[in-house]
Amino acid sequence: MDGELRTNKILSAIDLGTDTEKVIAYALWLSKAGGAEKAEIDMLYVMDYALTPPGYLMPYIEKEKKTDEEELEKWAAKLRPYGIASKHIIATGRLVETFNASVKGLNADILVLGHKSHMIRPSSSERLIKSLDIPMLVVRGKKSENSRLGSVNIKRILCAVDFSEPSKKALEFAKLLSEKNSSELTVVHVVSSIKMEKGLQKWKDMSDADRSGYKDALIKEAEERMCSFLNICNGAESVVKIGDPYIAINEIASERDADLIVMGARGLSYTKGVILGSVSESIIKTSPCPVAIIR
Q: Check residue 36 and give its pLDDT.
A: 65
Strands 237-243 and 110-114: unpaired
Q: Check residue 119 and give its pLDDT.
A: 60
CATH architecture of structural domain 1-146? 3-Layer(aba) Sandwich (3.40)
Fold match, 1-146 / 154-295 = yes
265 vs 39, 96, 119, 126, 167, CA distance in Å?
25, 18, 24, 14, 8
Q: Where are the domains of the chain?
A: 1-146, 154-295
Per-residue pLDDT of the chain (295 residues; tens, 9 = 90+): 555 667 889 999 999 999 999 999 999 999 988 766 678 999 999 988 877 778 888 888 889 999 999 999 999 999 999 999 899 999 988 899 999 999 899 899 999 999 987 666 678 888 898 888 899 999 999 999 999 999 999 999 999 999 999 999 999 999 999 998 999 999 999 998 887 777 677 777 778 788 888 888 888 999 899 988 887 666 689 999 999 999 999 999 999 999 999 999 865 444 444 445 678 888 999 999 999 999 8
What are the DSSP calls for 208-255, one per residue?
A: HHHHHHHHHHHHHHHHHHHHHHGGGSTT-EEEEEEE-HHHHHHHHHHH
Q: Check residue 10 and give its pLDDT.
A: 94
Q: Check residue 277 and give its pLDDT.
A: 65
The CATH superfamily label for domain 154-295 reads HUPs (3.40.50.620)
80 vs 8, 9, 40, CA distance in Å?
16, 16, 11
In three-state secondary structure terms, 181 is helix
| pTM for the full predicted model | 0.89
Task: Compute the distance between CA of residue 111 and CA of residue 137 in angstroms, rounded to an integer.
Answer: 6
